[in-house]
Amino acid sequence: MTRAAMWLSGVLAFFKKDLASIIRQPRLVLTLVLGPFVILALFGVGYKQQIDPLRAVFVVTDDGEYVDELEARAEEFSEDFRFVGRVDNEAAARAALRSGRADVAIVVPPDPAGTILEGERAVFTVLHDRLDPFEQATISLLARSTVNGLNERVLNELVAAGQQEADDIEALLPATRQSLTAMRAAMEAGNRPEAIRRRAELVAAIEELQAQTVAADAVVDSVDGADGEASVSGDLATLRQRALDLDLDGADGSLDDELAAIGEMEREVAALESAMSDFRRIPAEVLVRPFGADTDVVAAVDLQVVDFYAPGVIALLLQHLGIVFGGLSLVRERARGTTEVFRVAPLQPLQILLGKYAAYLVASAVVAAALGLLMLYVFGIPLVGSVGSFIAVIVLLSLASLGIGFVLSSLVQTDMQAVNGALIILLLGTFFSGFFLSLDRLTPPVRVVSWALPITHAIDSLRDVMFRGVGVDLRTWVALGGGSVLLFLVALALLHRGLRTD
Amino acid sequence: MPNPPTQAESTASPAPDPVIYAAGLSRVFDSGDGVHALDLDIPAGAIFGFIGPSGSGKTTAVRLCTGVLDPTDGEVRVLGTAPTEFDVAMRSRIGYLPQLSVLYEDLSVLQNLDFFASLYGPSAATDTRMAELLDFVELGEHTSKRVADISGGMRRRLSLAATLVHRPDVIFLDEPTAGIDPVLRRKFWDRFRDLSDDGATLFVTTQYVGEAAYCDYVGVLADGHLLTVNTPDGLRREAFGGDVIHVDFTNVVDERVVTEMAREIGALDVDILDLHRVRLTVDEAAVSLPQLSGWLSDRDVAIDQAEEFLPPFDDVFVEIVNRDRDGAPVGRLESDRVAPDAQLSVSRYAR
């Protein structure tokens, strides 16, 4: 018998024994495969893309007539709130929140019109009783969104009114232009009295226009991008003043100067007609919100929420599996007393570790394969990249996780400590791996913790492979591969120390 | 067979090529417990029984001999090599059965045996060898049963098979018969004798003092100290100072007759155990019994019977331990012989 055969026999002894030990526990294997599958299925079935409207009570501290209208149109403002009642003080609102009768209480500002007319914002305050920071952020976002909707509605109505006025103005502008034309003809004919009479008509027409520009003024300004100097009312005032300033009786200026001035006024009226036309043509919604935003994903596939979390679930399970397998393995050998036999037998720590690695790697691979197939063919989760890349990430993650497990197992005294250690690493993985919280939300020092975890690299790489169709990048190879080798060496050194003579 | 490897002898001059040799071997733990200054000299092919109560240091001694523990003082050699320096070839010659079961409960009988056999290479893990071993421990019908589902005795037998599967030359068995029934214990010792006959050297610890009878040599351990090493018969003689003869008188014992009788046959000690029975300690029962018979016949003293009594090893063990605790030297066979003309002290109802 060669030494190599004897050495290999020792490795195979652990491989067969540990694998058989897992196979002898079909419930364990079933749980490992079906557990995550059922969780993901429940999540997929139960997850709601849309949040149910929040039940809202209005807190109205005065008896303004606008409140009835507000209530009547409350649901028009936002689909996110559903009006369920009205109270007249904040204490009653808080009681409603505590009792669960309402999700939020919207405190309506007293006399909002008066506040706005005084140049201040009328602020709606939204009270709620939610503790979850994410829910708090959501309510804050919904409140802002609703107020934006309200503001938009007000602006829409204002613009619509302005457009109606612009219609009236546009109807009056031809009379203005005709008066100017008639005035120019009279001047060119030398009929200055006629010109003076036409100017009086022109001034009257301009004053009538000025009376129509209350609502349209600001809106047209915004369309033209003009400042206050060039407002509609300002333009009309300038036009009126120019008409009055014309030297129609020939006392001071030449005829050419007056005709040039009339020509300038004609161009201004034409510009005003054009602005009015543009203003009426553009829909009010566009005027109120001239810019929109749209996003598109450049990834190879469109993802559902369940799809997105699937790689994380696979990775999290495999990491936990590897750590538990490795973590319990050596500590249980010690508790059983078999390490004492190993010390006496012709064994090297390397044989023990290689055999155990191989057994648990096979077990992890079987679980990963079963889970992967279920996800691909039952949930329809896409795998755009190659199966080889997928397997590579799974193997690397399993090796690194086993390494953590074996190191953990060498450091703890009892299997309870090993299980606790595995749970802590599971929690670390859940919070810091990018599983459900983007790493961008973490500060750079904490991201070091994230990238120290194998699962972070695995989730990142699995998402790339499955959804972007790319291969395993160099960083993943180095981090998971290098980490696996390092952990193996540390575990080997610790096992060597553990099997030394006491 | 070499002379009994008594403690004194082994310290003075180790027998040639002892399989297990220890001189001043000590391992003291932080608590102060451990073993102190063990001297051993165990020849090849012997069954060496290490007897002592729980906590006396038997397991520590085994661990020192197998290299699981380092000695704090003294030396130990197995097959001529210190256990801490065993190489692969040397380890392949050692078999070790720990005190507690190391079997994997979720695996079958055969899977367990295959695992432990594979640790020693493909030649140990052949189907033929495993079948042979399973038959040897009478588990051939239970190979597919999970260890969790078999009895404690079957587990112990399987553990023994796992220890023997690679045909070791030296076998350390730490309380192999603990917790199993007397019938099975007897079978175990029959197996040990078979192994010994095949040339293996066995180092067996036990709490069952009676098992000393199955050993070639017995070491008595108490509180970490080796009190004595002897053959089972030698141990018995050591404990009581010689062979023991029980005489059952037909009539009530007459103390003067007893004293005269004891002096006449050269008894070393005499105890009147009850109204009719007397215990005589003599140098050699085979010599003294005919003398006794003749003397009684000459004096016309009626007896029911007179025969050599083999004290149970429990009594032997208790006697040795008590003597050690009382400060009396163990092994007084040679040292406190009573002269034929000395005044015998007769103790009544000494039992």
Q: Do A3 and B88 touch (CB under 8 A)?
A: yes
Within 8 A of A341 by CB-CB distance, chain B residues are 96, 98, 102, 116, 119
- Residue B263's Cβ-count burial label (10 Å; 0-12, 13-18, 19+) is middle
Structure tokens at A175: 């009379």
H-assigned helices in B177-254: 182-197, 232-240
Instruction: Give me the pLDDT at residue A251, please.
Output: 64
Which of A340, A342, A348 would best serve as a mutation to test chain B binding (most B beta carbons within 10 A)?
A: A340
Average pLDDT of the residues in A485-493:
97
Share of chain A above pLDDT 90, in %: 38
Within 8 A of B101 by CB-CB distance, chain A residues are 337
Provide the shortest C-alpha distance from residue B83 to chain A (in Å).
Answer: 9
Provide the shortest C-alpha distance from residue B65 to chain A (in Å).
Answer: 10
- Sorting pLDDT into bands at 50, 70 and 90, what band is B304? very high
pLDDT for A226 beyond 50? no
Structure tokens at A426: 């599971």
Phi, psi at B113, each rounded to 5°: -65, -40
Average pLDDT of the residues in B235-260:
90
Give the Cα-Cα-Cα angle B149, B152, B157 (nearest 5 degrees): 100
A108 Cβ contact list (under 8 Å, min separation 6): A58, A59, A60, A61, A67, A70, A124
ipTM above 0.85, yes or no: no
Provide the shortest C-alpha distance from residue B125 to chain A (in Å).
Answer: 9
Q: Do B66 and A343 touch (CB under 8 A)?
A: yes
Provide the shortest C-alpha distance from residue A22 to chain B (in Å).
Answer: 9
Which of B115, B144, B203 would best serve as a mutation to test chain A binding (most A beta carbons within 10 A)?
A: B115
Please tell me the distance from the alpha carbon of residue B188 to that of residue B156, in angstroms, as a whole number: 10
Instruction: Give me the pLDDT at residue A74, please.
Output: 66
Q: Is B168 on the interface with A (CB under 8 A)?
A: no
Q: Do A501 and B66 touch (CB under 8 A)?
A: no
Q: Do A341 and B69 touch (CB under 8 A)?
A: no
- Residue A205's Cβ-count burial label (10 Å; 0-12, 13-18, 19+) is buried
Identify the helix (H) or strand (E) that includes residue B304: strand B303-309
Whose structure tokens read 């029911």?
B304
Neighbouring C-beta atoms of residue A215, cutoff 10 Å = 18
pLDDT for B350 beyond 50? no
What is the per-residue pLDDT across A107-164, written as a single tens digit (0 to 9) for each?
A: 888 887 788 878 888 888 999 998 888 888 888 988 888 888 878 887 888 788 878 8
Parallel, antiparallel, or unpaired for β B243-249 and B277-282?
antiparallel
Beta strands in A193-294 (DSSP E): none
Which of A9, A15, A18, A344 would best serve as a mutation to test chain B binding (most B beta carbons within 10 A)?
A: A344
Provide the shortest C-alpha distance from residue A298 to chain B (in Å).
Answer: 51
Query: How many residue pairs bridge chain A and chain B with CB atoms within 8 Å of each other?
Result: 93
Of B68, B100, B118, the CB nearest to A343: B68
Within 8 A of B125 by CB-CB distance, chain A residues are 9, 13
Which of A2, A341, A342 would best serve as a mutation to test chain B binding (most B beta carbons within 10 A)?
A: A341
Instruction: Give me the pLDDT at residue A174, please.
Output: 85
Q: Do B120 and A6 touch (CB under 8 A)?
A: yes
Instruction: Give me the pLDDT at residue B192, please.
Output: 95
Q: Do A6 and B122 touch (CB under 8 A)?
A: yes
Distance of CA A387 to the CA centre of its chain: 31
Residues written for chain A: 502
Whose structure tokens read 């190391």?
B102
Q: Is B130 on the interface with A (CB under 8 A)?
A: no
Q: Do A24 and B146 touch (CB under 8 A)?
A: yes
Of A9, A25, A336, the CB nearest to B118: A9
Please tell me the distance from the alpha carbon of residue A70 to that of residue A75, in angstroms, as a whole number: 9
Query: Which residue in chain A is spatially nearest to B85 when comparing CA positions?
Result: A501
pLDDT for A42 beyond 70? yes
Provide the shortest C-alpha distance from residue A423 to chain B (in Å).
Answer: 25
Cβ-contact B351, B263 below 8 angstroms: no
pLDDT for A224 beyond 60? no
Global confidence as pTM = 0.76
Query: Which residue in chain B is spatially nearest to A24 when comparing CA positions?
Result: B106
- Sorting pLDDT into bands at 50, 70 and 90, what band is B328? low
Provide the shortest C-alpha distance from residue A500 to chain B (in Å).
Answer: 8
Instruction: Give me the pLDDT at residue B158, please.
Output: 95
Which of B28, B81, B86, B104 would best serve as a mutation to test chain A binding (most A beta carbons within 10 A)?
A: B104
Average pLDDT of the residues in A186-214:
84
What is the per-residue pLDDT across B251-267, written as a single tens digit (0 to 9) for each?
A: 998 888 999 999 989 89
Mean pLDDT of all residues in chain B? 87
- Sorting pLDDT into bands at 50, 70 and 90, what band is B338? very low
Beta strands in A159-234 (DSSP E): none
Cβ-contact A392, A385 below 8 angstroms: no
- Sorting pLDDT into bands at 50, 70 and 90, what band is B240? confident
pLDDT for A448 beyond 90? yes
pLDDT for A184 beyond 50? yes
Q: Is B48 on the interface with A (CB under 8 A)?
A: no
Structure tokens at A182: 């008639």
Q: Is B98 on the interface with A (CB under 8 A)?
A: yes
pLDDT for B3 beyond 50? no
**Identity of the amino acid at A472:** V
Structure tokens at A451: 């990238």
Phi, psi at A128, each rounded to 5°: -150, 175
- Sorting pLDDT into bands at 50, 70 and 90, what band is A479? very high
Structure tokens at A489: 């060496």
Provide the shortest C-alpha distance from residue A347 to chain B (in Å).
Answer: 7
Give the Cα-Cα-Cα angle B132, B116, B149 (nearest 5 degrees): 80
Neighbouring C-beta atoms of residue B318, cutoff 10 Å = 14
pLDDT for B86 beyond 60? yes
Within 8 A of B160 by CB-CB distance, chain A residues are none
What is the per-residue pLDDT across A236-270, written as a single tens digit (0 to 9) for each?
A: 888 888 888 887 776 666 778 888 888 888 888 88
The neighbouring-strand residues paired with A104 are A56, A128
Neighbouring C-beta atoms of residue B303, cutoff 10 Å = 16
- Sorting pLDDT into bands at 50, 70 and 90, what band is B287? very high
- Sorting pLDDT into bands at 50, 70 and 90, what band is B1? very low
Instruction: Give me the pLDDT at residue A1, please.
Output: 57
Order the strands of the B201-206 sheet from edge to edge: B73-78, B20-28, B34-42, B225-230, B217-222, B47-51, B201-206, B170-174, B94-97
Within 8 A of A20 by CB-CB distance, chain B residues are 107, 111
Q: Is B123 on the interface with A (CB under 8 A)?
A: yes
| Higher-scoring residue by pLDDT: A34, B63 | B63
pLDDT for A230 beyond 80? no
Taking the C-alpha atoms of B215, B218, B222 and B226 in order, what is their torsion angle to the nearest 10 degrees? -150
Structure tokens at A145: 């969104």
Distance of CA A247 to the CA centre of its chain: 65
Structure tokens at A406: 């074996």
Cβ-contact B94, B77 below 8 angstroms: no
Closest residue by Cα to residue A371 from A436, A301, A310 = A310
Query: B4's torsion region: left (phi>0), alpha (psi -120 to 50) or beta?
Result: beta
Average pLDDT of the residues in A354-370:
94
Beta strands in B18-64 (DSSP E): 20-28, 34-42, 47-51
Within 8 A of B123 by CB-CB distance, chain A residues are 1
Share of chain B above pLDDT 70, in %: 89
Average pLDDT of the residues in A382-396:
95
Q: What is the largest CA-CA distance in chain B?
A: 74
**Collapsed DSSP state (helix, strand, coil) of residue A101:** coil
Which of A12, A29, A501 would best serve as a mutation to test chain B binding (most B beta carbons within 10 A)?
A: A501
Q: Which of A78-82, B93-97, B206-210 has the lowest mean pLDDT?
A: A78-82
Instruction: Give me the pLDDT at residue A17, please.
Output: 96
Q: Do A501 and B115 touch (CB under 8 A)?
A: no
Radius of gyration of chain A (CA): 39
**Collapsed DSSP state (helix, strand, coil) of residue B329:** coil
Q: What is the largest CA-CA distance in chain A?
A: 134
Q: Do A345 and B114 touch (CB under 8 A)?
A: no
Instruction: Give me the pLDDT at residue B348, please.
Output: 53
Instruction: Give me the pLDDT at residue B140, please.
Output: 93
Whose structure tokens read 């936990």?
A320
Of A13, A346, A502, the CB nearest to B88: A346
Neighbouring C-beta atoms of residue A143, cutoff 10 Å = 20
Order the strands of the B303-309 sheet from edge to edge: B303-309, B243-249, B277-282, B269-272, B346-348
Chain A interface residues (partner B, CB cutoff 8 A): 1, 3, 5-6, 9-10, 12-14, 16-17, 20-21, 24-25, 336-338, 340-347, 501-502
String of DSSP letters for A318-329: HHHHHHHHHHHH
Q: Do A502 and B119 touch (CB under 8 A)?
A: no
Cβ-contact A322, A404 below 8 angstroms: yes
pLDDT for A211 beyond 80? no
Of A3, A25, A345, the CB nearest to B119: A345
Cβ-contact B201, B170 below 8 angstroms: yes
The neighbouring-strand residues paired with A60 are none
What is the per-residue pLDDT across A295-347, written as a single tens digit (0 to 9) for each?
A: 877 777 788 888 888 999 899 989 999 999 999 999 999 999 999 999 999 99
Of B98, B101, B119, the CB nearest to A347: B119
Please tell me the distance from the alpha carbon of residue B243 to that of residue A229, in angstroms, as a whole number: 136
Residues written for chain B: 351
Structure tokens at B28: 């003291």
Question: CA separation (Å) from A65 to A106, A150, A475?
Answer: 17, 17, 65
A110 Cβ contact list (under 8 Å, min separation 6): A61, A62, A64
Which of B118, B170, B175 would best serve as a mutation to test chain A binding (most A beta carbons within 10 A)?
A: B118
